[in-house]
Amino acid sequence: MIDVKNITKIYDPDANAFLALDGVSFKIEDGEFVAIMGPSGSGKSTLMHILGALDTPTTGTYFLDGKDVSSLTDDELADIRRDKIGFVFQSFNLLPRSTVLRNVMLPLIYSGVGEEERDRRAREALHASGLDETHFTHLSNQLSGGQIQRVAISRALVNNPSLILADEPTGNLDSKTGEIVLGTFQKLNKELGRTIILITHEPDVAEHADRIIVIRDGKITEDRKNHKKKDAVLELAKINSLKQ
């Protein structure tokens, strides 16, 4: 699905040049669950922007589903974001005075999908993310943090993207709620075969993925299979037992 070849990203090349990415290369197959981990300033946010078609590399190539994203125009990048990538952000980015269904439908409205089809697909995405149907008509500001993040995951799913890109999705959540959200990603990957890239600075969060890529100072320092993968259901059970 993803083939990144020798990507560099230089900011302000004509002034005080800053090399944010330095020759990054890797492949991600369809259906993988990969965590990209690194401290602040490591280059992971820059890499996320490139993988999400929000930015282009200075040099190198990025292929998504066989298409060279690194050479596309702004309009073509917008089409890629709309059709192939589902985003989940730390800050949720939901409309607080709109219902859960309306928030999930928004990408479909922008894509010109009819009302009945929007409703069907939004409900399907919400069920896939594990949100109870009793919450579908609630306003997003009436939900808990974990419920809000599952609505955001549903919104990312609704256009049936090839790739789900999650940027620090548990950063604003407590540990118990974070495990619920990570369990949702694991379920989507295992049961629906979704390709997921999880951006994080937390080793405990990264350990929920099948593969971990570590980036420091703009370079990949580690790329390994995670043979000690954490199961979010078991982790949540441990948290609950400690609180009893």
* Residue 64 in domain: no
Q: Could you give the 3-state DSSP secondary structure of residue 217? A: coil
- At 200 the pLDDT is 95
- Look at the chain and report how many structural domains it folds into: 1
Q: Please check whether residue 89 lies inside any domain of the structure.
A: yes
pLDDT at 122: 94
Distance spanning both ends of the chain, measured CA to CA: 44
* Per-residue model confidence as pLDDT tens digits over 67-96: 999 888 899 999 899 889 999 988 878 888
Q: Name the percent of the chain in helix, strand, coil, to the closest 5.
A: 40, 25, 35
**Three-class SS state of 174:** coil
137 falls within a domain: yes
Residue 97 counted as domain residue? yes
Q: Is residue 223 part of a domain?
A: yes
What is the model's pTM? 0.90
Residue 7 counted as domain residue? no
Q: What is the pLDDT of residue 88?
A: 92
Residue 162: exposure state from Cβ atoms within 10 A (0-12, 13-18, ≥19): middle
Q: Which amino acid is at 212?
A: I
Indicate whether 177 belongs to any domain: yes
How many angstroms separate the CA atoms of 78 and 157, rounded? 17
DSSP H stretches of helix in 31-165: 44-51, 74-84, 100-110, 115-128, 145-157
What's the rounded Cα separation, in Å, for the pair 54 and 65? 17
* CATH code for position 184: 3.40.50.300
pLDDT at 243 over 70: no
- Pairing state between β 2-11 and 59-64: antiparallel
Residue 242 in this model has a pLDDT that exceeds 80: no
At what angle are helices 145-157 and 175-192 packed, to 10 degrees? 20
204-234 tens-digit pLDDT? 999 999 999 999 999 999 999 999 999 998 8
Answer yes or no: is pLDDT of 237 > 90.
no
Q: Out of 4-8, 31-35, 142-146, 195-199, pick the least confident.
A: 142-146
Q: What is the pLDDT of residue 6?
A: 97
Phi, psi of 9 (to 5 degrees): -140, 120
Coil, strand, or helix at residue 127? helix
Average pLDDT, the chain: 91
How far is the C-alpha of 213 from the C-alpha of 50, rounded, in Å? 16
Q: pLDDT for 126-184, tens place per residue?
A: 999 888 999 999 998 889 888 998 999 999 999 889 899 999 999 888 888 899 999 99
Mean of pLDDT values over 101-127: 91
DSSP 13: T
Which helix H or strand E contains 23, and what residues bound it? strand 18-28
Q: How confident is the model at residue 185 (pLDDT cuts 50, 70, 90)?
A: very high
- Domain-located, residue 154: yes
Q: Residue 151 is part of which domain span?
A: 30-55+73-242
